Amino acid sequence: MPPLSTMSFPSTRTRIDGFDLARALAIIGMMTAHLGPDLPWVNALSNGFPSALFAVLAGVSLSLMNSKADATGGAALAQARHRAMIRGVVLVGIGMILSTVQVAIAVVLGSIGAIYLVLGPCTRWRTCWLMTAAVALPVLGIALSFYLTIGETVIESPLLAGAYPILNWLAYGLFGMVLYRAFSAGARAAVPVTVIGLLVGGVGVWQRHLTGELGHGENPLDVVYSWGMSAGVIGLCLLVTRPQILTKALYPLRSLGIMALTVYVAHVLTAAIPLGGYLDFQQSMKDDSAVYTDSPADLYAGVDFEEYRNRVARTHDWEEYMKVESTMLFEPGISDPGVQKLPSGNELTAWWLGSIGFSLLACSLWRGWRPRGPLEEGLRRIAYRGSTYKEVSPPSA
């Protein structure tokens, strides 16, 4: 592998447009997974692959951000790694906040933050060691899951379980570093990687379509499929953005990719409105038509207070008290709303198309005013200010 200082992409611009385009496709793919039409091929493409692509691009970005410092070493390298760790901590924090304020969408930012937090030192590893670690982590996750199973009980851990198991997501980050080097080496390496990636990703889409299995990389085979799809998409994006005319035509998508964090956070917060049933709740307050219908005016109708007080007095713990509370006060007052009309596919599709269209328009306009999105700029400033230090001369004898 050539030294990092000699690596260059076929672009003289400050940003690498192909990476921005791929990041935009990842965001749109996640929007589609949450709000898009419920069609077999759409589900096979949008469930799992976009979030994995987002993680692979995090590894690519980490390599790109550390490339100069990796070549020079010393204090610059320590500072670059410190900045990456700060970015990771902030991303984990944002992910925790989003997971707290809504429950409709599994938030990927915690696992993305882990890539920046943990993998900073790996950008200097040899390529063979990066790939070995990327392969080993998902296998390690399966082994740990086996040994952490007690009878029929599995000890849950974010490292191994959940929508975005951290060990698998770290593997995506490591693979992103490998891709960065492959695409840096020129067409001789980039073209085969892209072609093989598309073939592997295509097999993964076909397998998901046939079996109906969807997910975010819970097993090693799914990780391999996601690696292939990510390599193919990134390679195609780098190829498409080589001609200037196409690069300019793709300005709205590239702008969305540059503002990926801002768009993702906005999407999670806004998509939680239809997915979380908020609109149905508002409708139920008007015409008693949704699943939240009850009869608060009749809540205590027919309840004998003396009997209620005596039963509460005989309870021994909180669980018994809540059971009495439920059976005597609430159950008699709840009315059966009957068969309910849930949000239709057309309603979610309209929200999906509106989200994508508004994001493209807003990002294009914002980029005419500022080079980065608001959250991207804030993250950058926090990372740089947090890692800035002054050299202190040793005390004189």
Token match 């086996």: residue? 146
Considering only 53-62, 225-234, 273-282, 351-360, which range has the smallest mean pLDDT?
273-282
Domain boundaries, the chain: 15-276+350-387, 279-333
Is 244 or 288 the better-scoring residue by pLDDT? 244
Exposure class string for 176-207: b at 16+ Cβ within 10 A, else e: bbbbbbbbbeeeeebeebbeebbebbeebbee
pLDDT in tens, 40-59: 888 888 888 999 999 999 99
Average pLDDT over residues 151-174: 74
Average pLDDT over residues 53-67: 95
pLDDT in tens, 176-226: 999 999 998 877 888 899 999 999 999 999 988 887 776 665 678 889 999
Considering only 58-62, 72-76, 162-166, 267-271, which range has the smallest mean pLDDT?
162-166
Residue type at 226 in one-letter notation: S
Q: Is pLDDT at 6 greater than 60 in this prediction?
A: no
Phi, psi of 149 (to 5 degrees): -95, 120
Exposure class string for 21-35: b at 16+ Cβ within 10 A, else e: bbbbbbbbbbbbbbb
Is 213 or 230 the better-scoring residue by pLDDT? 230
Q: Is pLDDT at 361 greater than 90 in this prediction?
A: yes
Confidence of residue 347 (pLDDT cuts 50, 70, 90): confident
Radius of gyration of the chain measured on its C-alpha atoms: 25
* Cα–Cα distance for residue pair 251/238, rounded to 1 Å: 14
Contact in structure between 258 and 26 (CB atoms under 8 Å): no
pLDDT the model gives residue 202: 93
For the record, the structure tokens of 124 come out as: 């200097």
Pick from 14-28, 209-223, 247-261 the range whose average pLDDT is largest: 247-261
Sign of the dihedral defined by the CA atoms of residues 334, 339, 341, 345, in that order: positive
Confidence of residue 31 (pLDDT cuts 50, 70, 90): very high
pLDDT in tens, 102-120: 888 889 999 999 999 999 9
Considering only 7-16, 93-102, 135-144, 195-204, which range has the smallest mean pLDDT?
7-16
Is 159 or 212 the better-scoring residue by pLDDT? 212
Q: What is the pLDDT of the chain when averaged over all its residues? A: 81
In this prediction, what percent of the chain has a pLDDT beyond 70? Answer: 75
pLDDT the model gives residue 82: 92
Q: Which H/E stretch holds residue 150?
A: strand 149-150
Considering only 38-52, 154-168, 256-270, which range has the smallest mean pLDDT?
154-168
